[in-house]
Structure 1
Amino acid sequence: MGVRLVHNLTHPSDLVIDLAVGPQLARAVIAARRRSHVHAPRQAGWGREAATLIVTGWPVADTSPAEFFLHCRASLVPGGCVAVLLPHGDVIAPGDVVIAAKRAGLAYLQHIVAADRPPRPGQQTQLDIHTDVLILTRSATETRGG
């Protein structure tokens, strides 16, 4: 999933802010020859340079969702994206995330469902859904007032 996020949402030399737990995204960033900053979500000041992609787990500790998404929006280039990794099972979380992001000026772009194994042709397979990924974006055409 990290490889797809990095390749689909960034270009070479774009900055990726990694707030996720684990080395998976870092490996994808290195393989795609992107630049990254690894931070804790509650850390103030994720750097002076705006990022094209911010990837984070959910929920975020020690900050409100509204504050977190305001910080994300301020750290994104226009047209940049935030990928929020949600553990599967909480049917309310995606809606809560989208509402908090919209209040901070981010727009809902896409919902990706990542499964632990692909279905096999000719076999009825029950997919164990591993995680939901919500993609939110900062408008590339926003005006100062909006």
Structure 2
Amino acid sequence: MTDRNHRHAPIPVGDVVPGDPPVPITVWPVPAPHEGETMSNAMGVRLVHNLTHPSDLIVDLVEGPQLARAIIAAHRRSHLQAARPPVGWGRESATLIVTGWPLADASAVDFFLRCRAHLVPGGCVAVLLAHGDVSLPVDVVVAAKRAGLAYLQHIVAADRLPRRGQQAQLAIHTDVLILTRSVIESGGVGG
């Protein structure tokens, strides 16, 4: 039996990186970070709980104590590096590395090469960007891909969501790019 009304899914448009399939975009209703901080407490909790399991290792490269609080509350382990250059990440590979953007002292590709070297296969790097510059996420994704990381998910953090029946725009404050080290390693890293 054939279904004459069967329709194929629409072809996705709006690729962030031309030629790559689009990644899922998720909206998280979380408060905006305070001035001088990378994230709110709620954002830290969502990242830790959504991307790690108990006793997983997390490398904290963000400004502010929010991620550290979430790590402790969720019984994860961490290398807390906020307010210091990213040195001494330890010998053990991490499940999650969280960083703000832009970077202070490293080139993007070099930073992502270091992240990739310190991630377990399947581990993630969460890059938090202030919302607004439409080209910045593309630049981050391109640098990550050159370092051998894959673009897994885009999270849009918004202060308030539109209410049912109302036409309102999201109050987006942060874009979170989730990059991953593939479980299946290819022969090398290239651009």
If the length of structure 1 is used for normalisation, what is the TM-score?
0.93
Corresponding residue for 1:131?
A: 174
Where 1:70 maps in the other structure, the secondary structure is: helix
In our comparison, the structure showing a higher alpha carbon Rg is 2
Pair 1:75 & 2:118 matched: yes
Q: Which runs of 5+ in 2 are unaligned?
A: 1-42
Where 1:114 maps in the other structure, the secondary structure is: strand
Aligned residue-pair number? 146
Name whichever structure is richer in helix by fraction.
Answer: 1
Corresponding residue for 1:10?
A: 52
The CA distance in 2 between the partners of 1:109 and 1:102, in whole Å, is 11
Q: Aligned partner of 1:52: which letter?
A: T
If the length of structure 2 is used for normalisation, what is the TM-score?
0.72
User: How far is the alpha carbon of 1:122 from its aligned partner?
Assistant: 3.5
The CA distance in 2 between the partners of 1:86 and 1:74, in whole Å, is 22
| Mapped contact 2:161–2:171 kept (Cα < 8 A) | no
The CA distance in 2 between the partners of 1:47 and 1:144, in whole Å, is 26
Where 2:176 maps in the other structure, the secondary structure is: strand
Where 1:54 maps in the other structure, the secondary structure is: strand
Corresponding residue for 2:63?
A: 21
Bigger CA drift: 113-122 or 22-31? 113-122
Once the two structures are aligned, what percentage of the paired residues are identical?
Answer: 77
Q: Which runs of 5+ in 1 are unaligned?
A: none
Pair 1:53 & 2:96 matched: yes
User: How far is the alpha carbon of 1:48 from its aligned partner?
Assistant: 0.9
CA offsets 1:75-127 (integer angstroms, 9 cap, x no match): 10110000000011111110000000000010000000000123333333332
